[in-house]
Amino acid sequence: MAPRVVLVGPMGAGKTTVAGLLGAAWGLPVRDTDADVEAVAGRSVADIFVESGEQAFRDLERTAVAAALREHDGVLALGGGAVLDPTTRDLLRDHRVVFLRVGLSDAVSRVGLGVGRPLLLGNVRGRIKALLDERTPIYEEVAGLTVDTDGRTPEDVAREIEEAL
């Protein structure tokens, strides 16, 4: 089994919400690797970062992503940084990957104060800008389809994906 579609993109792109809408539209189960990591670790993503550090989170994430890509027959949303891992990028070559693109302003307004998102602590706008600059080329590289989300509702974004796939 493999996911029917894998959503990638930065925090604030709407991956979790759009995944839920696609799952409902297609009658397919939805999985989110942040939730998988939290279930395995028995702690929130934020607590893992604070107590064990980012590298510990990335190790758990790599394992969770590989398992989900192997097992999940439905819609899969990856955490925003999952594509940083070269092994994960290799695995994604065999899947239908959609990049939910988002610009700085929309990402900032969607994440709000960044509660629960440890990488954004201190300077939400500056941190998101750095993440977008660093990662946008990687999302583009792994995705077969890019969908713009700026100024659009999740329903509208999900509809475009449904029509495109």
Min dist. Cβ of residue 131 to ligand S3P (A): 6
Alpha carbon separation from 115 to 46, 69, 124, 130, 132 (Å, rounded) = 9, 28, 10, 18, 19
Tell me whether residue 16 is annotated as binding: yes
Contacts with ligand S3P by CB under 6 A lie at: 11, 15, 34, 45, 79-81, 117-119, 131
* Strands annotated E in 64-142: 75-77, 97-101
> Which residue number, 114 or 161, has a Cβ lying nearer to ligand S3P?
114
Using only the alpha carbons of the chain, give its radius of gyration.
15
H or E element, residue 66: helix 54-71
Determine whether the annotation assigns residue 63 to a binding site.
no
Is 151 annotated as contributing to ligand binding? no
Q: Extract the runs of DSSP E, i.e. beta strands, from the chain.
A: 5-8, 30-32, 75-77, 97-101, 145-148
Ligand-binding site membership of 117 (annotated): yes
Strands 30-32, 5-8: pairing kind:
unpaired
For ligand S3P, the closer of residues 37 and 163 by Cβ is: 37
Return d(Cα 165, Cα 163) in angstroms, integer: 6
Q: Minimal distance in Å, beta carbon 55 to ligand S3P?
A: 12
Q: Is 78 helix (H, G, I), strand (E, B) or coil?
A: coil
Q: Least distance (Å) from ligand S3P to the CB of residue 70?
A: 19
Nearest distance from residue 42's CB to ligand S3P, in Å? Answer: 16
Please say which residue, 28 or 83, places its beta carbon nearer to ligand S3P.
83
Q: CB nearer to ligand S3P: give 15 or 101.
A: 15
**Which residue numbers belong to the known binding site for Mg(2+)?**
16
**Which residue numbers belong to the known binding site for ATP?**
12-17, 117, 152
**Which residue numbers belong to the known binding site?**
12-17, 34, 58, 80, 117, 135, 152
